[in-house]
A and B are shown apart, each in its own frame.
Chain A
Amino acid sequence: MIVDQKPVMLTVAEKTVHTAVYTTLFFDFAIDFRPGQFVMVWLPGIDEKPYSLSYHSPTRFGITIEAKGLFSRRAADLSPGDSVGIRGPFGNGFDIISSPHTAVVAGGCGMAPLAPLVERLHPDLFFVHGARTHEFILFPDRFAANRHITTDDGSLGHQGMVTDLLAAEIRRRADQGAPPFDRVYACGPEVMMHAVFTLCDVHGIPCQVSLERYMRCGFGVCGACVCSDQVVCKDGPVFDSKQLKKMPDFNRTALLKSGHAVPLSEYVAWRCL
């Protein structure tokens, strides 16, 4: 059984290469999981990093990797039969409601933690996915729900921001007297999540976002991932509007590996090395 203690070495059962940047590793093991939770993935001799589950069933789960750094490239290069250490799941998850009036806003690989959520929400959800270019649209054919695509370069869907479409839909619902959103879920670059949070806040719509910070323990003791007075690995990674309002570090400050608090842009540049 996989637990949140010592890593358990698991064999990669299957690997799907989605695009040049996205790869999913599947493991045929049961793990107790709610969408939004994450596991720590250990490559012995390399490092250990947090990854949210992008697929989950009673007998199988998957993690989707964007190959961009040393660790993620090594992880994406693994083949079926190779082993990795897994411990978890950690953190809370998204609060799943049964309402047909929800929206999901994904940015780039922020699609990964949202995917198991989308599969559990009412199929009438309003679903937006933005990315730099069409190559960064993850899981293009996975969902029954209709997905609105935006790209920065216009190579697929609407050219512009996810919040353009979300704002238009909020307005349309108001103009037509349709029920407003009961909940908006977002995961992607923090600046995008902040824009979604701000837009929702203006319209009084509760939203939940999943934050990312450099992590060590995964269970709320080491303090590496603090964001204001919240411990992202334990109190989050999913936070709701009420919590976000009391977190001035949201979209502003993050800690480097040394614990040095820096502007978010500096942190993001370091994380993307």
Chain B
Amino acid sequence: MDNITFLGKQLKNPLVLASGILGNNAKILERVHKAGCGLVTLKSIGPAPRDGHRNPTVIDLGGGMINAVGLPTPGYDHMDAEWQALADRDFPVNASIYGGSVAEFVKVAQFVSDQGPDFIEINISCPNSDHHGMLFGVDEKAAFAVTNAVKKVISVPLIAKLTPAAPDIGKIAKVCEDAGADAICAINTAGPGMVIDIEARTPVLAFKKGGLSGPMIKPVAVRCVYDIYRAVSIPIIGLGGVTTGEDAVEMFMAGATLVGMGSAVRYRGMEVFHQVYRELTDWLAAHHFTRDDIIGAAHDPIAGPDSTAKKSRKTP
């Protein structure tokens, strides 16, 4: 147990469940928390009921996954039972939200904020809908507008979830920081990509294209977190392909304050949170480092195996 303070909230460790993985009800979030996750995230909540795409929606490719689930949601005002179940929780919850316009983001954010999540994460980065998400995350003006508008109507810390599809993710992160975001979460799925079945002569996913996740995208995620760390002074939740304690160390060195996992649940089960936390702790102990010693360490020109140098940084 670490008892980390993150944006004023207590987390038992620096591991985060990525949005879209398992977060469909309060009970499963509680189980993921018990499996060693410091901060669990609700599946993105949208402005109106939405079924998402037909199957196939999620396919494992071995070194990672491709998915186009398509932002299914009961709609923000059809989740009374879950909010009630979450009201008695003894673990922190991050609520991911999305909309098709600034007004929709604001409507959902305002309502969700009143339900008492510990954080709100704006999903401005989902590649799997033609009308939601990613449009906001690749355009500086749109990213500023939605972050700024949501920040004004919520009473909990705001996290902006970014896409690696942005031409300059550091710039988008900076714009979100300027607009009032309290933290950056990166990255959402990469691509989008496509897998064609050559016998069936057709894309496998019903939506044809989908976001890539898992080990195959880790270098992209590490680069994005590295770029964001140089551009902003707010904390970063780094995720994308993290599956082991050493992956987490790499993400911390790129500049992450917390590290998220999603597809790792496919490869190592829900217990991956306990396992990665133990691996991380063992690695730090073996190297005589604390987590603070390694956050952003890859940015230090003299950082090496014996260095405890760290960049001076605003405390989250």
Contacts and interface: CB of A to CB of B under 8 A. Distances in A.
Interface of A: 4-7, 9, 40, 42, 44-49, 83, 85, 87, 216-224, 226, 228-229, 231, 249, 255-261
Contacts of B31: 229
Nearest to B49: A258
A48 to B, nearest CB: 4
Contacts of B270: 220
Interface of B: 20-25, 27-28, 30-31, 43, 49-52, 54-62, 65, 67, 69, 72-75, 78, 81-82, 195, 197, 199-200, 202, 204, 206, 262-263, 265-266, 269-270
A226 B24 contact: yes
B22 A216 contact: no
A257 B51 contact: yes
A9 B197 contact: yes
A229 B74 contact: no
A112 B71 CA distance: 33
Contact of B52 (A47, A48, A258): A258
Nearest to A84: B200
Given A6-B61, A260-B49, A221 B22 contact: yes
B216 to A, nearest CB: 13
A83 B200 CA distance: 8
A226 B27 contact: yes
Contact of A231 (B28, B30, B72): B28
B61 A5 contact: yes
- Majority secondary structure of chain A interface residues (helix, strand, loop or mixed): loop
Contacts of A218: 58
B262 A221 contact: yes
A42 B56 contact: yes
A47 B59 contact: no
A86 B204 CA distance: 12
Given A6-B59, A257-B52, A259-B74, A226 B197 contact: no
A249 B82 CA distance: 13
A163 B197 CA distance: 46
B59 A5 contact: yes
Given A83-B199, A221-B262, A5 B62 contact: yes
A239 to B, nearest CB: 15
A89 to B, nearest CB: 14
A73 to B, nearest CB: 16
Given A5-B59, A47-B206, A261-B74, A223 B21 contact: yes
